[in-house]
Structure 1
Amino acid sequence: MKFSEKINAYGHENVLGTHNATIEITKNKNLTVKGDCIIGINASKSCNDLSPYLKKIIKSGKKFKIMLKVENLEDSFYGFGSRKLKLLDKEDIVFRKSKFICNRTVLINCTKSAREINRDLIERLHIPTKKLSIIFEVIEINENQL
Structure 2
Amino acid sequence: MGLGMIVASEIVRAKGHPNVTAKHKTTLEITRDCDLTLRGDCIIGVNADKAASNLSSDFKAALTSPRNILLIVLEAGGFKDYLIAHGSREITATDPRRIIIRRSSYVEPATIGVYATKAAGDLDRGLVNSLKSGDAVLTVKLYVLRLDDIEPVNP
TM range (shorter): over 0.9
Give ranges in structure 2 of 5+ residues lacking alignment.
149-155
The question of 1:35 aligning with 2:21 is answered: no
* Most deviating of 31-40 and 64-73: 64-73
How does the TM-score come out when normalised to structure 2?
0.87
Equivalenced residues, count: 142
1:35-54 correspondence to structure 2 within 5 Å? 35-54=40-59
Match of 1:17 among 22, 29, 34: 22
Match of 1:126 among 129, 132, 136: 132
1:20, 1:58 → 2: CA distance? 23
The question of 1:6 aligning with 2:11 is answered: yes
| DSSP-derived class of the 2:121 partner | helix
Which position in structure 2 is the counterpart of 1:83?
89
How does the TM-score come out when normalised to structure 1?
0.92
2:127, 2:105 → 1: CA distance? 26
With over 3 angstroms needed to count, the CA separation of the structure-2 counterparts of 1:56 and 1:136, relative to structure 1, is: same
* Most deviating of 63-72 and 133-142: 133-142
Match of 1:70 among 60, 76, 81: 76
With over 3 angstroms needed to count, the CA separation of the structure-2 counterparts of 1:139 and 1:100, relative to structure 1, is: closer
Shift of 1:141: 7.4
The question of 1:113 aligning with 2:86 is answered: no
Moved beyond 3 Å, runs of 4+: 139-142
Instruction: Choose 1 or 2 for highest CA Rg.
Output: 2
2:97, 2:144 → 1: CA distance? 24
1:9, 1:51 → 2: CA distance? 18
2:62, 2:145 → 1: CA distance? 12
The question of 1:95 aligning with 2:107 is answered: no
**Is the CA contact 2:59–2:144 (under 8 Å) kept in the aligned structure 1?**
no
1:74, 1:117 → 2: CA distance? 9
2:144, 2:107 → 1: CA distance? 21
Shift of 1:50: 0.3
Shift of 1:4: 2.4
Letter in 1 for 2:82: S
Residue deviations 1:96-139, cap 9 Å, x none?
A: 00001111111000000101000010000000111101111134
